Amino acid sequence: MDFVSIRIITGDIARLVDFYERATGVRADWSTEDFAELRTPSATLAIGSTRTVALFAPGSARPADNNTVIIEFLVPDVDGVYRNLTDVVADFVTEPTTMPWGNRSLLLRDPDGNLVNFFTPVTPAAVEKFGR
């Protein structure tokens, strides 16, 4: 089995896709006006409008209602990501901080309130773990 993607359901797909394109530097591939994907070598972030929920099961997903999942991105320079997003992010949960497990992490909320962690391994053990 391969873990392929995670999908966010949103009420404003253009706004959320724009945020993730800016945050990651990855251009989205739009399949329809209701579905886009940001593909990286290791996983895909899919973003679907609320209109796509009815295709699976009406009412099964609600936008901007996540309080348990953290979406994580391994980046070469977490401090650079922070500088790039200071004018568009309303809620930085934690500014770049070096964690006890060796990653420098930036925790924020995307425009829908989802928690997002950008991190860069900085200790020798963390660098070795992620092959950076």
Q: What is the pLDDT of residue 23?
A: 96
d(CA 37, CA 80): 23
Residue-wise pLDDT for 74-106, tens only, equals 999 999 999 999 999 999 999 999 999 999 999
Please state the domain extents for the chain. Answer: 1-57, 66-132
Residue 132 has pLDDT above 80, yes or no: no
Residue-wise pLDDT for 1-32, tens only, equals 788 999 999 999 999 999 999 999 999 999 99
Q: Name the β-bridge partners of 83.
A: none
Instruction: Supply the CATH classification number for the domain 1-57.
Output: 3.30.720.120
Tokens of 85: 């997003």
Does the domain at 66-132 match CATH 3.10.180.10? Answer given as yes
pTM of the model: 0.92
Q: What is the pLDDT of residue 131?
A: 83
The residue type at 48: G
Mean pLDDT of 33-60: 95
Q: What is the pLDDT of residue 17?
A: 98
Q: What is the pLDDT of residue 107?
A: 97
d(CA 97, CA 115): 16
Mean pLDDT, the chain, whole residue set: 95
Q: What is the pLDDT of residue 67?
A: 87
